[in-house]
Amino acid sequence: MIMKKIFACILGLLWISPFVSKGQQANVNLDYKPQKNTEGLTPFSAPLNSPEVHDDRTVTFRVKAPNAELVELNPGAIHTALDLGREPLPFTKGEEGIWTLTIGPLPVDMYAYHIRIDGVQVADPSNTYAAFTAMPPYSQLVVHGDGPAWYDAQNVPHGNVTRHVYHSEVSKGERELYVYTPPGYDPKKNYPVLYLLGGSGELPSNWVYDGRVNFIMDNLLAEGKAEPMIIALPNNQIIHRNHPQHAELTFDLFEKELREAVIPLVDESYSTIQSPKGRAISGLSMGGRHSMFIGFRSLDLFANFGILSAGDVTAETTLKSFLNDPKVNEKVDYLFVGQGTKEAQGFFNQRVQGLIEAIDNHDIEHEYYVGGHGGHDWSTWRHLLYYRFLPNLWKKN
């Protein structure tokens, strides 16, 4: 009888174990190695495993396309990390019409990528990690290390991310705003607020899912490396990005949105420091230009700035008022300008250097930093937040 019970228990464990263990892209936990094939299971509703990340940090992509003539990995962040240039990498066709490509090893990081099938750019059909943006979707490759990275969900106190939907008189419609509050948020205490902006074609949620800003902030706070803060993620897509007058209209429109809708909503909904010293504005690429062109002329709102992968080759002209303000160093608490290592080697560097040279010429206090292994991609923007901008923000207050 006892043996029968033991046998029944063993059968029970065998029965439930597949449901408790983690398979590739199982999406059960916020796993730091979601694309390691631990059980030989394919993602739900996918025809096969892709991408498969091996412990040596090589990666195998697979596409089932029996009628395709050509399958390729599109140039992008992976090419940048491996110095592969701008030409697509061809897959090899095998049995049952399965195309494969193995590359690497890659640095531990997350990489956005596309696959090209007979000239058509698509997300990886078998990858459950896909980005939701204001652009056609792309896939995410997660190359893991020996444990969770500084941008991963770790066993530390976590803050909350809240989605607000509000009506905007500027855009004449309903818009969204995400707000991160730190762990242990106390409405009786006033917090500084960072307004963090995306780039062209991105939505506020991209700073959460691609940028991992909430996990980065959680981990920095747990490590004692940053000050508790509220992070507001507005939608800075205020006019169609392909509008012929985008560059002419976007800055005035988004400044109006900030002043009339975004900042009032945040100040009414949360316990905030409602002064320039308690506000920062930062953004990547187009968001960096919003932070620069709007922020530098709005010193009544902001005293802290993070310009990520952005600048202007004609900064002496376009930023004339800011640069020639005799009290600018009294009004600005922290000005950070940063870009990725591979960016600094390419054409994006011209805009950044235009800004750096201008603020150097006018003796404006700032921090300039180049770091990470990325180019104009999320690898760089995560790195800049974790290693420089967030730890140094509010330190002078």
DSSP 65-108: -TT-S-EEEPSSHHHHHHT-TTSPEEPEE-GGGEEEEEE----S
Handedness of CA 327, 328, 331, 333 (dihedral sign): negative
User: Looking at the predicted structure, is the pLDDT value of residue 11 above 80?
Assistant: no
User: Looking at the predicted structure, is the pLDDT value of residue 13 above 80?
Assistant: no
- pLDDT in the model for residue 8: 40
* Residue at 375: amino acid letter: G
Mean model confidence pLDDT for the chain: 92
User: Looking at the predicted structure, is the pLDDT value of residue 5 above 70?
Assistant: no
- pLDDT in the model for residue 298: 98
User: Looking at the predicted structure, is the pLDDT value of residue 66 above 80?
Assistant: yes
Q: What is the pLDDT of residues 383-395, one digit of tens each?
A: 999 999 999 999 8
User: Looking at the predicted structure, is the pLDDT value of residue 3 above 50?
Assistant: no
- pLDDT in the model for residue 249: 87
- pLDDT in the model for residue 7: 38
- pLDDT in the model for residue 22: 60
Domains and CATH numbers, the chain: 52-143 (2.60.40.10), 160-392 (3.40.50.1820)
Q: What is the pLDDT of residues 176-229, one digit of tens each?
A: 999 999 999 999 999 999 999 999 989 999 999 999 999 999 999 999 999 999
User: Looking at the predicted structure, is the pLDDT value of residue 4 above 80?
Assistant: no
Look at residue 155 and give its three-state secondary structure. coil
Q: What is the pLDDT of residues 296-319, one digit of tens each?
A: 999 999 999 999 999 999 999 999
45-52 CB contacts, 8 Å cutoff, 24+ apart: 46/125, 46/126, 46/127, 46/128, 47/125, 47/126, 48/98, 48/126, 49/24, 49/126, 50/124, 50/125, 50/126, 50/127, 51/124, 51/127, 51/139, 51/141, 52/24
- pLDDT in the model for residue 396: 64
Give me the helix-helix angle, 286-293 and 246-257, nearest 10°: 70
Q: What is the pLDDT of residues 83-124, one digit of tens each?
A: 999 999 999 999 999 999 999 999 999 999 999 999 999 999
pLDDT band at 240 (very low <50, low <70, confident <90, very high): confident
User: Looking at the predicted structure, is the pLDDT value of residue 332 above 60?
Assistant: yes
User: Looking at the predicted structure, is the pLDDT value of residue 266 above 80?
Assistant: yes
Mean local confidence (pLDDT), 352-357:
97
- Structural Rg of the chain based on CA atoms: 23
In sequence order, the β-bridge partners of residue 180 are 161, 231
- pLDDT in the model for residue 241: 85
Q: What is the pLDDT of residues 152-182, one digit of tens each?
A: 999 999 999 999 999 999 999 999 999 999 9
- pLDDT in the model for residue 9: 40
pLDDT band at 6 (very low <50, low <70, confident <90, very high): very low
- pLDDT in the model for residue 359: 97
